[in-house]
Structures are given as structure tokens and as C-alpha cells.
Amino acid sequence: MNFRYQNPTLIEFGQGKISEISSLISKTKRVLVVYGGGSIKNNGVYEQVSKALSSFVWFEFGGVEPNPTVETLDKAVVFARENQVDFILAVGGGSVIDGSKYIANAFFYEGNGWDILEGKHTPTKALELGAVLTLAATGSESNTGAVITKKETKEKRFFHSPFSYPKFAIMDPDVLKSLSQRQLANGVIDSFVHTCEQYLTYKHGLLAQDYYAEGILRALVELALSFENRDDLWYANLMWLANQALNGLIGLGVPQDWATHYIGHELSGLYGIDHARTLAIIQPNLLRVLKEQKSEKLLQMGENVFKLENNTVDNVINTIENMYKTLGVDLKISSYTEDKEIKEKVINLLTKHGFTHFGEKETIDSTVVGQILDKSI
């Protein structure tokens, strides 16, 4: 057990919390509100944010995509500079928050912002950032990560920066009630796989991380089972569980996988498939290919999370897959694209991005990726 942990993001959680914005940002700040496709103007969030910022100088930039593109975000960087902004308020889900992290970190960099995603530039300062969460899935509201797409080349890359921690995150679960069933199902799946990436590896003996992860997984299974009977607490639980799955805590000092994400990112970048759906497609088949390597933790999951009477590795994997099916996810890549070169394109992009040996034991190479994709296409 050997790690460093700090999470400086202040979280304001609960109904009616959006009004707190006015006390969380200095009145001297020039604020840029960043949002997505405009749904916040239909569900009352934009109105609440506008009211909270009524005594501020503020600007807005909309149109950040569900898989935020560097092409759109670079326009936002220019807009922020032109208006001498010094605080960014991200109002949206993980994509808007991720995009805002890019804007904040690229703001002071005179070169090509994509350099940050390529690892060619490490930011030494950034704009301050706050978040109003409107979609629960990624935990981006209190972590350092961001995933950005380059539309031109259909690449999806990620970066971490200590400057990407939002100063605060407003989490009002009532906001989730305006989301579609697809978006809510994606949130459950995303949170579930995030937790698995830090849990389904091998035995290591760090009890707090293991059992906390199992608690999150059990709760998410419960939300999946009660998906058609959502009440106030259902939304509140999803919003908090999604945060806890990826705020850094359950990954402290333990082996982590993330192979499902690396493969999923390429599928999402190539074909525009929802991030969570790429995870639901890939994860069960990755587990099947690597079931010997992951057998101990899969059996632990069967016992402690699913409480299976017939606890076998195959039954655990099937139980995970069936949960995704009950949430209405089509688990074949061919349902989303007619491309006949899926395998070749994904493997080539993974190689280009340096993912030649990955997973918790670095046993996943292009051959293993091919086996996983063969089962998934």
C-alpha cells in the first residue's frame, strides 16, 4: 500500500445547489460558461446558472459535442482569449467538462493544443475551472482526466493534468430527470466499467479499495435492476456512484486494467458510438479472452457482488453481459457500422497511440485485441 492522494474539488451535492455558484466564484472573475447541444436551455439549468451569474461579467460558448472534438474546442480557446476570460464554468456531462479541461489547459499554450493530448506539451498553468454536472457517468467533475477527439483523423486521446481538478462541482440530481433512458443507461454502464477497470485485475490484498469497489458495483447492479422504477433517490445514487467510481479513491495503490477503455476509445473515435456502449460491447468479450488471468477476481465478484449460487467465471461474465442487455444495449459492433475493416483500423490506431502491450499485466497485444474484436463484431 503505497500511494499519494489529494482531491481538491469542493462538491456541493443536492437539490437546488446550482444557486451556490455565486458564492463559489470571485466576483472579479470573467466567466466563460461552456455547454453542449443546448439541452440546458430546455431543462431549466441555463436559467438557474444565468441567475446565479447575474452579478458577474460572463460569456457563453455552446456546441461541445458528446465526443468533444479538438476542432470545436480550439474555437473556444480563441473565444476565451478574445474575451480575456479567467474562469471556466462547465455546464454539462463528462464531455463538456472534459472539453473545458482542454480549454483551460490550452489557454496559455501558444502551440497546437493537440500537443497536450500527444504528450508533447505538459501544461504548467491553466485557467480555473468549475463544473455544474448534468449527466452522471464519468466522474470528470472531480478528477484530472479528459478524453478528446480529433475529428480530422478520427483519433480519441486522453490527458491528465493537476490543473484539471475543478475548484468545485455542483451536483443536483434533479437535473438527471430530463435525460433520456439511453443517457441514463449509459451512465450506469460507464460507472460500472470504470469500477471494474480498477477492480477486475488480480488479488492484491488492499481491502478498503476492493470492498469499496464491490459496494459501488453492488449499488450499480441495484440501479440497473430498478431502472424502470426511478425515484428521487435513484437519480441521487447514480450521480454519487458515478463520481465515486472515478474520483481516484478505489484505484489508489492497486493494479488497474483500462484495456476495455483503450479499445472502446478507438471504436468511439472511428464510428461515433456512445462511449458507454463501446465499453458494454468490449468488456464481456475481453473478460472471456482473459478469463484465466482474471479468474480469481471474477470469482470474488461473483460471490461478493452478484451473490451467484453457481459461481463460475463464465457465469459471472454472462451476468455482466445480461445486465447490459437488460439496459437495452446492442452488443455487436456491426449494429453500429457496416465497415468491414473494423479490426484492422482499431489495431492500427492502438499501435499508433503506443498501446502495443497493455492491461494490468501488459499481456494484451494486437493478437489478443483481434481475438476480442472477433467476438465483438
**Residue 253: pLDDT above 90?**
yes
Question: Please, what is the end-to-end C-alpha distance for the chain in angstroms?
Answer: 39
CA 11 vs CA 139, 179, 187, 220, 231: distances in Å: 12, 22, 19, 21, 22
* Rounded average pLDDT over 147-171: 96
**Within the chain, which residue ranges are assigned CATH 1.20.1090.10?**
181-376
Question: pLDDT (tens digit, 9 = 90+) per residue, 290-332?
Answer: 999 999 999 999 999 999 999 999 999 999 999 999 999 999 9
Question: Burial level of 330, CB count in 10 A (0-12/13-18/19+)?
Answer: middle
- pLDDT for res 101: 98
Question: pLDDT (tens digit, 9 = 90+) per residue, 92-134?
Answer: 999 999 999 999 999 999 999 999 999 999 999 999 999 999 9
- pLDDT for res 219: 98
CATH fold of the domain at 181-376:
Dehydroquinate synthase-like, alpha domain (1.20.1090)
Positive or negative, the CA dihedral 92, 266, 147, 325 is: positive
* Rounded average pLDDT over 33-61: 96
Q: 148 by DSSP, 3-state: which? A: strand
- pLDDT for res 1: 86
Of 175, 193, 7, residue with least CA distance to 93:
175
Distance CA 68, CA 65 (A): 5
**Within the chain, which residue ranges are assigned CATH 3.40.50.1970?**
10-174
* Contact (Cβ atoms closer than 8 angstroms) between residue 51 and residue 21: no
Q: What CATH number is given for 10-174 in this structure?
A: 3.40.50.1970
Angle formed by the axes of helices 181-199 and 275-289, to 10°?
40
pTM across the whole model: 0.95
DSSP H stretches of helix in 130-206: 181-199
Q: What is the mean pLDDT of the chain?
A: 97
